[in-house]
């Protein structure tokens, strides 16, 4: 049984990792800036030790990591900027090194190590490089695009009108993964430190084209859904970073060998997009008004 500190525990990746670790019988310290939030209370109910910690409060990180065996680390530029993500990521890595943790599993982004020119991929790669140099045993898992994003923001707003608005050509293959599979893989890497230490692994559960995604959403929602290719110029008016990401997806492409992952790690559920979509409560989602967001 491990004691694992999990950052971003009330978010998608951290929350999924915390739940997977708890289900496997490990002790979880759920680190969050908002220990009284409903998501934090849900983790307490499952048995997590919820602690307040913030990336810009080194003392809180030191206290939260003291005596832990390992760390699941997630950073983000959204809500701040890429420079802040790098600075906070380095602070977190420094705290892990000072605590002499036995293993750090960092979640990054698929292809972030390939000089994509996407700002938030580049910032994640800088954190990866800092982690590799810190002397702590490390693993980097690098998820593809999140299926879970399709239940909110830009995508959900479009689905209410029967449109899957996505800034990619209809036939361009696109790698996807749900947060649950990220959490399961992170928990596996943490439990099998010897097998995963020193490895960087791009992970995805399925690969579909936008046209195929629209067809799967049609089946799952019970409503006709057609793909509409959103212009990159429109995305650029909202976020140059995301426009660069979708330009990369549409040209070089985000490819991950999902078949090889399934063979190598059959203990992971590896949800197909069809299975994931079928499990969502689309009537509640589609009938609830929501402010339009930006595709991510």
pLDDT digits (tens, 9 = 90+) for 250-261: 999 999 999 999
Q: How many CB atoms lie within 10 A of CB 9?
A: 30
Please calculate the CA angle 17-135-31 and round it to the nearest 5 degrees. Answer: 30
Cα(13)–Cα(19) distance, rounded to whole angstroms? 10
164: three-class secondary structure by DSSP: strand
Instruction: Tell me which residue of 62, 108, 293 sits closest to 31, measured CA to CA.
Output: 62
Report the pLDDT value the prediction gives residue 224, as an integer from 0 to 100: 97
Cα(145)–Cα(158) distance, rounded to whole angstroms? 18
> In the chain, which residues have pLDDT < 50?
291-296
Global confidence as pTM:
0.94
Instruction: Tell me which residue of 102, 70, 71 sits closest to 89, measured CA to CA.
Output: 71
* Joined tokens for residue 157: 């707003």
Cα(109)–Cα(210) distance, rounded to whole angstroms? 20
Sign of CA dihedral 215, 216, 222, 227: negative
Strands 49-52 and 27-32: parallel
Show the DSSP H helices in 171-257 as ranges. 179-191, 193-196, 210-221, 232-238, 240-250
Report the pLDDT value the prediction gives residue 281, as an integer from 0 to 100: 97
Sign of CA dihedral 38, 189, 254, 248: positive
Find all residues with CB under 8 Å of 77, minimum gap 6, and list them. Answer: 84, 85, 119, 120, 123, 241
**Residue 177: beta bridge partners?**
146
Displacement of CA 48 from its chain's centroid (Å) = 20
Instruction: Tell me which residue of 176, 120, 103 sits closest to 143, measured CA to CA.
Output: 176
Classify residue 267 by burial, with Cβ atoms within 10 Å: 0-12, 13-18, 19+. exposed
Report the pLDDT value the prediction gives residue 295, as an integer from 0 to 100: 44
Cα(43)–Cα(9) distance, rounded to whole angstroms? 8
CB 232 within 8 A of CB 167: yes
């Amino acid at each position: 049984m491990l004691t694992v500190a999990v950052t971003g525990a009330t978010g998608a990746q951290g929350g999924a990792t915390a739940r997977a670790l708890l289900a496997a019988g490990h002790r979880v310290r759920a680190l969050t800036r908002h220990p009284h939030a409903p998501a934090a209370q849900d983790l307490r109910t499952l048995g997590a030790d919820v602690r307040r910690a913030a990336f810009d409060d080194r003392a809180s990180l030191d206290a939260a990591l003291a005596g832990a065996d390992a760390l699941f680390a997630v950073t983000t530029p959204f809500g701040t900027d890429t420079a802040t993500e790098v600075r906070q990521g380095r602070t977190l890595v420094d705290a892990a090194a000072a605590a002499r943790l036995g293993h750090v599993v960092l979640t990054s982004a698929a292809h972030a190590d390939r000089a994509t020119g996407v700002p938030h991929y580049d910032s994640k790669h800088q954190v990866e490089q800092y982690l590799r140099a810190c002397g702590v045993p490390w693993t980097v898992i690098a998820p593809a695009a999140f299926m879970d994003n399709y239940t909110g923001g830009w995508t959900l707003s479009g689905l209410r009108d029967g449109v899957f608005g996505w800034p990619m050509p209809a036939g361009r293959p696109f790698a996807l993964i749900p947060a649950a599979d990220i959490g399961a893989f992170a928990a596996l890497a943490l439990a099998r430190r010897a097998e995963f230490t020193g490895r960087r692994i791009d992970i995805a559960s399925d690969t579909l084209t936008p046209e195929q995604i629209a067809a799967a959403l049609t089946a799952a929602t019970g409503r006709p859904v057609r793909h509409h290719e959103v212009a990159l110029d429109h995305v650029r008016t909202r976020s140059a970073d995301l426009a660069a990401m979708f330009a990369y997806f549409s040209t070089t492409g985000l490819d991950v060998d999902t078949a090889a992952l399934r063979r190598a790690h059959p203990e992971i559920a590896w949800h197909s997009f069809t299975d994931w979509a079928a499990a969502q409560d689309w009537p509640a989602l589609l009938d609830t008004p929501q402010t339009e967001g930006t595709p991510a």
